[in-house]
Amino acid sequence: MARRLLAALAAISITVSVLFGDSVDCFDGGGKSEPQPTLCDELILPAGYPCSEYMIQTKDGFLLGLQRVSSSSSSLRFGHAGERGPPVLLLHGLFMAGDAWFLNTPEQSLGFILADQGFDVWVGNVRGTRWSHGHRSYSVKNKKFWDWSWQELALYDMAEMINYIYSVTNSKLFIVGHSQGTIISFAAFTQPDIVEKVEAAALLSPISYLDHATAPLVLRMVSMHIDQMVLTMGIHQLNFKSEWGTNLLVSLCDTRLSCGDMLSSITGIVVSDKLGIWWNGNKGKNCCFNDSRVAYYLDQEPHPSSAKNLNHLFQMIREGTFSKYDYGKLKNVKVYGKFKPPKFDLSRIPKSLPLWMAYGGNDALADVTDVKHTLQELPSTPELVYLENYGHVDFILSLQARQDLYDPMINFFKSSGKYSSI
């Protein structure tokens, strides 16, 4: 095991150039690049839904992709031709992007369902994903391009998405997050200048604490400090579609039976000979999605993320905290003015913000114990949906998600605030 891991890491160090040249359509510091396919072109327009592409810039210079989706018949629900319904922003999970909301049929995919229900659907894509557009100054090959964690996704990416959509629609937003999308939502909602533009939020597999996560391969990576090893080697981008990424996953497994929870527990994507991993049948198995579409899902997922982001998530598991990135005592003093990174205080989320949360008994990442910890710290009492057999991916890919989750979520939105008459 150790020998195979060291061999894989050695191979990674030799092929770092492959890692950085592999995946992201980027601005590349002012150079020209060939036009790339868009999310609208790939998944949404072919399904018959109007879709527009937008590019916004964060305060730290990242160029994010946003898509705006509607149904050709949705305006009829609001009584005026061309009038859009209330805006809703969809925030994807780790190693995923905005395509996650459109991977099944229009009758089964939340992005399409919300559009058909008359909502003005905005699809978020965080920095580094294939549907975003790089940085105004840094090439994707520059390590500074990858110097971020979910902290920046909350305070810069999500903040800019909300500000832009608010400026276009002149309306408060509904938020829907899954997995990492809920982490950044909880963090952002503690910031008064962000949360004041939010009407209500629905959080699928909600995470603010991770110390009871049970995914075996994830826990193995945490205990072996793989995240810190990768950073020490000077690797900053994580791309599990590259050859080195696949080899690393395989090297972390003792047998075929221990590999299958990796993408299931982190992103929800599972069971693939294409990635050299197999299903193990333990907690975390997803109950309700279409196994025959796994190859199709893997055409879109996983998307790249940063090694620093994974390191921050693993800090949450090791330390049992919901805090800013821990640089170590000396740099913490320089960055934060104290030895320990500041916590994101969930009690600062306004009690008046309506929250709806759905979690599963078979989720190896958003563990029930950690969800209860989150609930104890929130000043409000969210509406809850608990599904005993749901694993992490079922919340976005289950064939029964519409009746189990999406219809109740839409009813929650329609009963919230000024949209109660929808």
Residues 301, 131: Cα–Cα separation, whole Å: 12
Which residue has tokens 């770092």?
16
Q: Which of 25, 28, 363, 370 is catalytic?
A: 363
Query: How is 175-238 classified by DSSP, letter by letter?
Result: EEEETHHHHHHHHHHTSHHHHTTEEEEEEES--S--TT---HHHHHHHHTTHHHHHHHTT--EE
CB 223 within 8 A of CB 361: no
Total number of residues shown for the chain: 422
Residues 190, 216: Cα–Cα separation, whole Å: 32
Question: How would you classify residue 303: left for phi > 0, otherwise alpha for psi between -120 and 50, otherwise beta?
Answer: beta
Q: Which of 74, 179, 242, 251 is catalytic?
A: 179
CB 53 within 8 A of CB 36: no
Residues 181, 204: Cα–Cα separation, whole Å: 9
287-303 burial string, b = 16+ CB within 10 Å, else e?
Answer: bbbeeeebeebbebbbb
Residues 320, 298: Cα–Cα separation, whole Å: 31
The amino acid occupying position 302 is: P
Whether 265 is catalytic is no
The amino acid occupying position 182 is: T
Whether 179 is catalytic is yes
Q: Which of 370, 392, 394, 404 is catalytic?
A: 392
Whether 116 is catalytic is no
Who's near 248: CB < 8 A, 6+ residues apart? 8, 9, 12
Which residues carry out catalysis? Answer: 179, 363, 392
